[in-house]
Amino acid sequence: MFVRVLGLTVLAACASTAQAVSYDCQKAKTFTEKAICQDPELSALDDELDSSYQAAEARSKNPKALKKQQMKWLSERDTCQTNNCVKKSYQKRIIDLEP
């Protein structure tokens, strides 16, 4: 029982300090940035997308075009006003980056 309670305590502590890889949560300004920093699931998707993007960039024959697509996606993602919208946006972009 103690191990279970300790595990839940650690999980709760981690959840309250979600830190997305792609930017500093102390500087989060937009709804989307704040949502990613506050929601562990969105933060994990941000981390996953960062890895997917890095892999796509490494195998890309046109990194400039990939970066342009990513900037376009970021603009679209930032129109979201709900966590569910952000989640769906990340899930779609991760799929789009797959080989």
pLDDT above 60: residue 8: no
The pLDDT of residue 43 is 95
pTM value is 0.77
What pLDDT score was predicted for residue 2? 35
Phi, psi of 4 (to 5 degrees): -65, -45
**Residues ≥6 apart with Cβ < 8 Å to 96:** 73
Q: Where are the domains of the chain?
A: 2-97
Q: Could you tell me which residues come within 8 angstroms of residue 36 by beta carbon, excluding any fewer than 6 positions away?
A: 18, 20, 25, 28, 42, 43, 45, 46, 86
The confidence score (pLDDT) of residue 21 equals 58
